[in-house]
Amino acid sequence: MSLSKQAQKRLADVVQLQPTKNKELQECWGIDSGSEIHQYLESELSEYYYRDDNSLIRATEEAAELVDVAPGVEGGDDDGGIPSIIRIPELHARIFTVLAGPEERSQSVVSVLNDLREQFDIDPSVEDVREALQSLRQKDVVTVVYRTVPTFQLATTRDAIDVEQTHRSNTDGSNINSDREETEVNTNTVSHSHSQSNSSANTTDGEDASTMKQIETEFEDIN
């Protein structure tokens, strides 16, 4: 099956983002509907992708070899599904660094956002943080705990997973690998005092009515 440059670029995205969903590919490729994603995958990449038991989109081993891109996750077959290596964008890596561990109290999206502001002096949107958490959940490195709103924590200890940061453009250009430079993220260099940071979810900075309404939509999207 011969692939165009666009198809190779998009296949590389599937390899790197896996396991992924239609919505994540929509945002990556600038496509409006999930049905268009499905049609494209079936018509252009049918030999190189499949859906797992949870209907998540994954690339075949042949796909990774074809585009010469490291997969988004490695390992996990012998440890309850938890991967040994994940390759994720910068925001995801920073969330992995600050998020509560498996023995700590799980955090809301706003609590994670406040930790990111404090630790890294960045201010991503609530939606970006929420989507990053859901992406990490798809990779089986984050679990959700349902309270008043969905809350999140790591599925295993931080040092059990090697994290590599990827730099990926959201534009659908012709170069396959130019926007995929990978560097190791040292997740042990940032201290995380969750006893203080978890209480930040009760602060009012940035938690206006529109923000809280946005968080409520997590119950619809998380599954």
Q: What is the pLDDT of residues 122-131, one digit of tens each?
A: 999 999 999 9
pTM of the model: 0.69
Residue 101: per-residue pLDDT: 97
Confirm if 176 and 12 have CB atoms less than 8 A apart: yes
Q: What percent of the chain has pLDDT over 70?
A: 72
**Token pair belonging to 190:** 């940032």
- CB-CB neighbours of 126 under 10 Å: 19
Distances (CA, A) of 49 to 10, 12, 56, 63, 91: 11, 11, 10, 8, 26
Give per-residue pLDDT as tens, 181-194: 333 444 444 344 44
Report, as an integer, the average pLDDT of 113-133. 97
Q: Which domains does the chain have, with CATH numbers?
A: 1-71 (1.10.10), 85-161+187-221 (1.10.10.10)
Cα–Cα distance measured from residue 101 to residue 134, given in angstroms and rounded to the nearest whole number:
16
